[in-house]
Chains A and B, each alone.
Chain A
């Protein structure tokens, strides 16, 4: 369907013209400077789509190059993947989807981000789309983008205590609701009540036997 194989008419890769049947280098990577090429850890190919994998602060220079030198003017998406529990280079991977209008070529840049660093360079000065793209990634993964002027929560409430798309955030179960202040009736008026202490931290160990027992206890009718 989508055909993104390198265009043989591109002048950048014609120059060496090696006759050996080496795999054709992608026109985008052929036009990279040696300094940028050395930062690329791997090039992923699947169904004709190409992705360049780098380590986190390096994607800034690569994206700048792609934006200004190779004319990828249209950023389609910014997102992240959490590889918790898998044997990967780092825990997080940032994903940038770039598009070039002249030949309608779409490539991706993946950037490994370690759990400890937790901070990535922002690209809002290159594409305005990153304002909300990075905001949502921050909202869902807790990744901080250094340089984004408006890194508030986007979809979740402002005082939400967790980051839902992390793999250690449970799909089921309740608990996060208790992190909000709530009112309870006392002496004829509503006063701010303290929620009972929450047994486990958000996102980890939600389904421990203690917790399940506590949920059962709470769900029994009053007065038993």
Chain B
């Protein structure tokens, strides 16, 4: 068989052509040429008793939950070498940003982590607000916190459910999907969309929440602990689940620090970092919450970490909802933030402000040469935006610091030496979102 991808599509690949030797494949791997060429599963034979097998795990594999591709070299069931290839969902978000205005790019941030798009919207809005030096009203801050924490709960509970599903406990996934739907219903009531929310604007949010918002959220936070307890009951003392995840994919604290892991994955390894506490944004300093930390750093710790974070998120939502202030939801300076639709249609001055903001060549203009790195805590970890302004209404450069990218970089090292089933356990506990990974 030839390593040429075109040859593998021909019908007579096995007709008399010799299989590649291990040496050939290693050479190809060294040269970086074989990426994309290992289209089929094939056995390595070089005349000796070398029985290594190079196998593609993904990009279309049920356990990857996205377009993630790993290339495993196997000896029996054991992974001796692992490499990953990413970029299947690369869409050029950063390039797009250089050709859109600051307000327009909010829609693009939805597509990064599509499981918790609200968190991306809020992270981006906060970054631009920090660049401009404006602070949004307290009600907007509290609403952002509530929606972010609800998204975090939905994201974490889905991750736990999928982790359980990959290891055989299908019911947990169905339960978590059921409760996640409730969060999506709340998000739909708030902004009209479920996944691609585009909820924030620079300087505020699209509109105030509907009147029944409090009731919806209260019923969710009062109802949710039941599911939380059920998942604990189902998994935390489940022998099969524990055997699959305990001691698998261990990341120690030094590695977590050096590889820049963040979020639940970093904290499961004892890396006590949480942007919500370290650099409070959006009024997080007003709420009391703990930053749970685990010390074992294995897949089990990551499961426990997410379960513990859900509790804290519920607590934050309760606090924020009971102290939700009244007032405007958009920053009062309409030179930078869009006026409400009501005002635009009924008020001359607001119409002018709106017109000036949305017309190309006007809009929000940060100071020339200003640059900012702003980070927020999203369910996967630390989401950072580095924005370089050139004084016009389009950013000169926006760099997204995606948590999934740097969390995933350590993955090949973790699975080497383990079994294929361990790779599934590790990958599901990492909860890598391909849209955010590739951007």
Give 28 CB contacts A-B under 8 Å. Answer: A1-B279, A1-B280, A2-B130, A2-B279, A46-B367, A46-B372, A47-B130, A47-B372, A49-B373, A86-B390, A95-B386, A101-B273, A104-B278, A104-B279, A128-B259, A128-B410, A132-B409, A136-B405, A140-B94, A152-B32, A153-B87, A156-B87, A158-B32, A158-B33, A158-B35, A167-B98, A183-B6, A192-B6
Question: Which A residue's beta carbon lies closest to that of B280?
Answer: A1
A201 to B425, CA, bound (A): 46
Q: A44 to nearest B CB, angstroms?
A: 7
Query: Counting CB contacts under 8 A, is A202 at the interface?
Result: no
A127 to B255, CA, bound (A): 9
A79 to B371, CA, bound (A): 13
Q: B388 to nearest A CB, angstroms?
A: 5
Query: Counting CB contacts under 8 A, is B417 at the interface?
Result: no
Query: Counting CB contacts under 8 A, is B258 at the interface?
Result: yes
Query: Counting CB contacts under 8 A, is B211 at the interface?
Result: no
7 A-B pairs with least C-beta separation: A129-B260, A155-B87, A104-B278, A132-B409, A128-B258, A77-B401, A155-B90
A101 to B409, CA, bound (A): 21
A2 to B275, CA, bound (A): 10
Q: Tell me which of B87, B96, B255, B396 contacts A154 (CB under 8 A).
A: B87
Of the stretches A68-76, A111-119, A203-211, the one at the interface is: A68-76
- Say whether A129 contacts B373, CB under 8 Å: no
Query: Counting CB contacts under 8 A, is A36 at the interface?
Result: no
- Say whether B90 contacts A106, CB under 8 Å: no
B→A interface (CB under 8 Å): 6, 32-33, 35-36, 86-87, 90, 92, 94-96, 98-99, 126, 130-131, 133, 135, 255, 257-260, 272-273, 278-282, 367, 370-375, 382, 384, 386, 388, 390, 396-397, 399, 401, 405-406, 409-410, 438-439
Question: Which B residue's beta carbon lies closest to that of A110?
Answer: B371
Q: Tell me which of B133, B278, B375, B390 contacts A76 (CB under 8 A).
A: B375
Query: Counting CB contacts under 8 A, is A164 at the interface?
Result: yes
A153 to B86, CA, bound (A): 10
* Interface members, chain A 22-64 (any B CB < 8 Å): 44, 46-47, 49, 51
A→B interface (CB under 8 Å): 1-3, 44, 46-47, 49, 51, 73-77, 79, 81-83, 86, 95, 97, 101, 104, 106, 108, 127-129, 131-133, 136, 140, 152-158, 164-165, 167, 169, 171, 183, 190, 192
Once A1-B126, A77-B399, A155-B87 are accepted as A-B contacts, the answer to whether A164 and B371 lie under 8 Å apart by CB is: no
List A contacts of B374 (CB < 8 A). 1-2
Q: Tell me which of B35, B86, B273, B401 contacts A74 (CB under 8 A).
A: B273
Question: Which B residue's beta carbon lies closest to that of A166?
Answer: B95
Q: Tell me which of A51, A74, A75, A192 contacts B371 (CB under 8 A).
A: A51
List B contacts of A2 (CB < 8 A). 130, 279, 281, 374
- Say whether B382 contacts A158, CB under 8 Å: no
Question: Which A residue's beta carbon lies closest to that of B410?
Answer: A128
Q: B90 to nearest A CB, angstroms?
A: 4
- Say whether B99 contacts A171, CB under 8 Å: yes
Once A97-B384, A104-B278, A157-B36 are accepted as A-B contacts, the answer to whether A164 and B92 lie under 8 Å apart by CB is: yes
List A contacts of B405 (CB < 8 A). 132, 136
Once A1-B135, A2-B374 are accepted as A-B contacts, the answer to whether A129 and B258 lie under 8 Å apart by CB is: yes
Question: Which A residue's beta carbon lies closest to that of B266?
Answer: A74
A136 to B399, CA, bound (A): 11
List B contacts of A129 (CB < 8 A). 258-260, 406, 409
- Say whether A82 contacts B397, CB under 8 Å: yes
- Say whether A156 contacts B90, CB under 8 Å: yes
List B contacts of A156 (CB < 8 A). 87, 90
List A contacts of B390 (CB < 8 A). 86
A167 to B94, CA, bound (A): 12
List B contacts of A77 (CB < 8 A). 373, 384, 386, 399, 401
Question: Which B residue's beta carbon lies closest to that of A51?
Answer: B371
Once A101-B273, A165-B95, A171-B95 are accepted as A-B contacts, the answer to whether A131 and B373 lie under 8 Å apart by CB is: no
List B contacts of A190 (CB < 8 A). 6
- Say whether B399 contacts A79, CB under 8 Å: yes
Once A76-B401, A152-B35, A165-B95 are accepted as A-B contacts, the answer to whether A128 and B255 lie under 8 Å apart by CB is: yes
A49 to B278, CA, bound (A): 15
Q: Tell me which of B257, B281, B370 contacts A1 (CB under 8 A).
A: B281
A95 to B371, CA, bound (A): 11
A164 to B95, CA, bound (A): 8
Instruction: Find the residue from B92, B373, B386 having the highest chain A CB count within 10 A.
Output: B373
A129 to B406, CA, bound (A): 7
Question: Which B residue's beta carbon lies closest to that of A81?
Answer: B397
List A contacts of B370 (CB < 8 A). 46
- Say whether A81 contacts B90, CB under 8 Å: no
List A contacts of B438 (CB < 8 A). 155
A44 to B373, CA, bound (A): 12
- Say whether A165 contacts B94, CB under 8 Å: yes
List A contacts of B135 (CB < 8 A). 1
List B contacts of A97 (CB < 8 A). 373, 384, 386, 401
Q: B53 to nearest A CB, angstroms?
A: 22
Q: A70 to nearest B CB, angstroms?
A: 15
A77 to B259, CA, bound (A): 11
List A contacts of B399 (CB < 8 A). 77, 79, 95
List A contacts of B36 (CB < 8 A). 157-158
